[in-house]
């Protein structure tokens, strides 16, 4: 039988099993897993074995079988689930992931599984100690009999993600064309056309809402890797960490969710590496040995809020400001005017590092600029709260959907461009007489702060624009500095449907996407974080 | 004409004949006024809305090192699975099928894969991937 049509299904399902597998292993190791979690682990290994065998992937089936055997010994209470078992199972998960990637890429790599299979088969638990849980102590749910989880699953179908992308694209086009019909209706003064367009608008609104809902997937779809990230790093650097997660059921756009993984991993790694103290230091200041990191996801109106909270050493805003002034990141006057919230954001400046130790794990504190840039590219923003000695809270606010965003439309000399409103701190019209020069740099004062004045036409390579007495400008942050960007005029604020640029325009620095306005005009959405 | 995997579309750029496999070209259309693209290099004329896609418009002559294409010319819009790109060329000659196996050795030009002998005579096969890579390389600067 030709199994090739089932290959993609095998890859997506096996990866789902492995993701769930890793999360459950860490949960069991931390002693918070239930007997049902143990059964779920066993079932995943069993399913993976069966799927791989039916596809003819002998190595994957054999390794899955060995994992299943080890879990069976735990299930039968011959072994207790200890750190050694967790290590072996995670090693097996990594190897299976690599083997599946090989098969997916049609590589003929022969990976050696014999050593691991041998260690899985001969594993003996070490005597009980802290953190080790006997099987009898797993919390039991009312129904602990082994059952296939899909028995009572709701009716669902798998849809390829590009189909969803096409659907939202077509819907966006329909909305754009509806605006054209409205314009034509006004020109023709046709009541019947107006009525039909109004009805079309209502249907399109419903269609759009449904399509947006279809694209939403729960945070849990990417969350299962986070416990492992924390666990592995904590173990490597000798820290004790309890990791908790809340709100994994909250849904957000697939595109945003995929883009969020790297920033969250980076913040988590920084929290383990830099924020949490070693056990001795924690004890010395009256804290428990185990540090706590919490990942909390919640909904606020049309935004999703992701917060990473730790109970580590926290940050001192005054120390951050003095470091920034000493190293020339900001001037003394700007430093004096900074609020604590602004001071914490200094860690997002490229090259800014206050890490006590230069660790190989999270680099030299570098990377927070990339984190903020990614969040901004996703249409969101980041804020930081912290208290010395108590801990920090990194808060990421993201739109529910990436496809429709709120923008400020501005006119330049040759075209109109869109700036996501999340990047616009304020807009104003500046009298030319209030501009002064320092060297070749034009400056103006805003709320006691000296801001550089730049021409957006010039940055984008367009000819010089209008020359009125009042200069329209918006204030935003470029490379960690607040600046005023002069435009020709403001068109206004509106919601637009974002079109990805694709190849090759997606490589153009400073462009984040495109859109077609109701009048058919094409506009580019600026990626403000990468404009310079 | 029957479209086969050996079918090509042949077009002219500054008096030279070039070709592409039929399956990578989605549409041949009259040029429309392109929207200027920020920071565009000389070979990028702009972008346009093509059935809901934002498509970059490449002045192929300019990229190949010739003088810029003279209006009006023709837009060859590529299939979306290849790129969001339209080639601005002087004109389309028509469809061609390859005669015999293989073709002459490629000329010393990264943008040409080989010379194809067809029922319409010889033409240079455009190395589309290298064209895209070159564009992306310049865009990232």
Provide the pLDDT for residue A359.
39
Each residue's pLDDT tens digit, B10-34: 999 988 999 999 989 999 999 988 9
Each residue's pLDDT tens digit, B114-135: 888 888 889 999 999 999 999 9
In order of their start, the domains of chain A are 4-137 (1.20.120.160), 161-217 (1.10.287), 219-399 (3.30.565.10), 404-530 (2.40.50.180)
Angstrom CA distances, A186 to A191, A196, A205, A289, A323, stand at 9, 13, 21, 71, 61
Provide the pLDDT for residue A532.
80
Provide the pLDDT for residue A294.
96
Measured between beta carbons, which residues in chain B are less than 8 angstroms from residue A521? 35
User: Which residues, in sequence order, are bridge partners of residue A410?
Assistant: A417, A490
Taking an 8 Å Cβ-Cβ cutoff, which residues of chain B contact chain A?
Answer: 35-40, 47-49, 51-54, 56, 80, 83-85, 132, 135-136, 139-141
Structure tokens at B113: 């894969």
Provide the pLDDT for residue A360.
38
The mean per-residue pLDDT over the stretch B56-63 comes to 94
User: Which residues, in sequence order, are bridge partners of residue B11?
Assistant: B18, B92
Question: Roughly how many angstroms between the first and final C-alpha of chain B, as a whole number?
Answer: 43
Put simply, the answer to whether B38 touches A173 (Cβ < 8 Å) is no
Measured between beta carbons, which residues in chain B are less than 8 angstroms from residue A502? 53-54, 80, 83-84
Provide the pLDDT for residue B12.
93
Put simply, the answer to whether A509 touches B139 (Cβ < 8 Å) is yes
Q: A20 by DSSP, 3-state: which?
A: helix
Provide the pLDDT for residue B141.
79
pTM as predicted: 0.57
Give the torsion sign (CA, A486, A488, A489, A490): negative
Provide the pLDDT for residue B5.
47
Fold of B7-140: OB fold (Dihydrolipoamide Acetyltransferase, E2P) (2.40.50)
For residue A418, report the phi and psi dihedrals to the nearest 5 degrees: -115, 135
Residue spans per domain, chain B: 7-140
Angstrom CA distances, A281 to A270, A355, A364, stand at 18, 16, 21
Measured between beta carbons, which residues in chain A are less than 8 angstroms from residue B132? 503-504
Structure tokens at A73: 């010994």
Contact (Cβ atoms closer than 8 angstroms) between residue A491 and residue A416: yes
Mean pLDDT by 10 residues, chain A (532 residues): 65 82 85 83 84 83 90 86 90 91 80 89 70 49 44 64 78 78 84 88 83 83 88 90 91 84 92 91 91 92 87 91 86 82 85 52 57 81 90 89 80 94 91 91 90 94 85 88 93 82 88 80 88 82
Count of beta carbons in the 10 Å neighbourhood of residue B71: 7
Provide the pLDDT for residue B3.
39
Provide the pLDDT for residue A528.
86
Nearest chain A residue (CA) to B82: A503
Structure tokens at A214: 């279809």
Measured between beta carbons, which residues in chain A are less than 8 angstroms from residue B38? 415, 417, 460-462, 508, 510-511, 524, 526
Provide the pLDDT for residue A4.
61
For residue A385, report the phi and psi dihedrals to the nearest 5 degrees: -120, 145
User: Which residues, in sequence order, are bridge partners of residue A252?
Assistant: A217
């Amino acid at each position: 039988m030709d199994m090739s049509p089932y290959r993609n299904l095998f890859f997506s399902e096996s990866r789902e099993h492995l993701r769930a597998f890793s999360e459950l292993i860490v949960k069991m190791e931390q002693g918070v897993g239930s007997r049902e979690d143990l059964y779920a682990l066993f079932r995943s290994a069993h399913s993976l074995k069966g799927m791989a065998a039916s596809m003819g992937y002998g190595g994957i089936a054999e390794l899955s079988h060995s994992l299943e055997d080890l879990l069976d010994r735990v299930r039968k209470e011959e072994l207790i689930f200890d750190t050694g078992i967790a290590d072996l199972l995670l090693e097996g998960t990594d190897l299976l992931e690599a083997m599946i990637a090989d098969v997916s890429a049609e590589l003929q790599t022969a990976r050696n599984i014999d050593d691991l299979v041998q260690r899985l088969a001969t594993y003996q638990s070490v005597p009980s100690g802290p953190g080790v849980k006997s099987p009898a102590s797993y919390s039991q749910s009312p129904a602990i009999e082994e059952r296939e989880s899909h028995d009572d699953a709701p009716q669902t179908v798998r849809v390829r993600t590009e189909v969803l992308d096409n659907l939202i694209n077509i819907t966006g086009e329909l909305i754009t064309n509806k605006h054209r019909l409205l314009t034509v209706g006004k020109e023709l003064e046709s009541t019947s056309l107006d009525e039909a367009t109004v009805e079309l608008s209502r249907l399109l609104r419903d269609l759009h809402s449904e399509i947006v809902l279809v694209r939403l997937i729960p945070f849990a779809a990417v969350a299962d890797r986070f416990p492992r990230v924390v666990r592995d790093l904590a173990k490597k650097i000798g820290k004790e960490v309890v990791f908790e997660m809340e709100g994994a059921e909250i849904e957000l756009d697939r595109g945003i969710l995929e883009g969020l993984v790297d920033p969250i991993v980076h913040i988590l790694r920084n929290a383990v590496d830099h924020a949490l103290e070693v056990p001795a230091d924690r004890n010395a200041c009256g804290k428990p040995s185990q540090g706590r990191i919490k990942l909390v996801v919640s909904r606020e109106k049309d935004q999703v809020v992701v917060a990473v909270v730790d109970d580590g050493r926290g940050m001192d805003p005054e120390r951050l400001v003095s470091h920034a002034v000493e190293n020339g990141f900001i001037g003394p006057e700007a430093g004096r005017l900074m609020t604590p919230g602004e001071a914490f954001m200094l860690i997002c400046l490229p090259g800014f590092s206050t890490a006590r130790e230069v660790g190989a794990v999270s680099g030299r504190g570098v990377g927070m600029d990339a984190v903020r840039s990614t969040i901004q590219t996703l249409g969101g923003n980041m804020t930081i709260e912290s208290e010395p000695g108590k801990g920090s809270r990194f808060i990421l606010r993201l739109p529910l959907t990436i496809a429709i965003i709120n923008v400020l439309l501005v006119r330049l000399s040759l075209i109109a461009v869109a700036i996501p409103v999340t990047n616009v701190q304020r807009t104003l019209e500046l009298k030319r007489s209030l501009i002064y020069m320092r060297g070749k740099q034009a400056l103006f004062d805003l709320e006691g702060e000296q801001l550089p004045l730049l021409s957006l036409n010039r940055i984008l390579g367009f000819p010089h624009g209008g020359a009125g007495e009042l200069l329209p400008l918006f204030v935003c942050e470029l490379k960690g500095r607040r600046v005023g960007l002069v435009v020709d005029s403001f068109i206004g604020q509106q919601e637009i449907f974002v079109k990805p640029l694709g190849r090759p325009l997606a490589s153009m620095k400073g462009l984040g996407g495109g859109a077609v306005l109701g009048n058919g005009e094409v506009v580019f959405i600026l990626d403000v974080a990468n404009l310079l | 004409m029957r479209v086969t995997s050996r079918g090509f579309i042949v077009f002219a750029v500054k008096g030279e004949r070039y070709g592409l496999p039929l399956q990578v070209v989605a549409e041949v259309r009259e040029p429309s006024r392109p929207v200027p693209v920020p920071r565009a290099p000389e070979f990028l004329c702009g972008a346009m809305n093509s059935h809901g896609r934002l498509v970059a418009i490449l002045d192929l002559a300019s990229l190949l090192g010739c003088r810029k294409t003279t209006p009006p010319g023709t837009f060859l819009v590529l299939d979306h699975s290849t790129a969001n790109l339209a080639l601005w060329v002087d004109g389309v000659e028509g469809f061609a099928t390859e005669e015999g196996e293989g073709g002459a050795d490629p000329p010393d030009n990264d943008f040409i894969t080989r010379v194809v002998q067809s029922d319409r005579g010889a033409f240079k096969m455009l190395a589309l991937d290298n064209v895209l890579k070159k564009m992306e390389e310049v865009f990232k600067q």
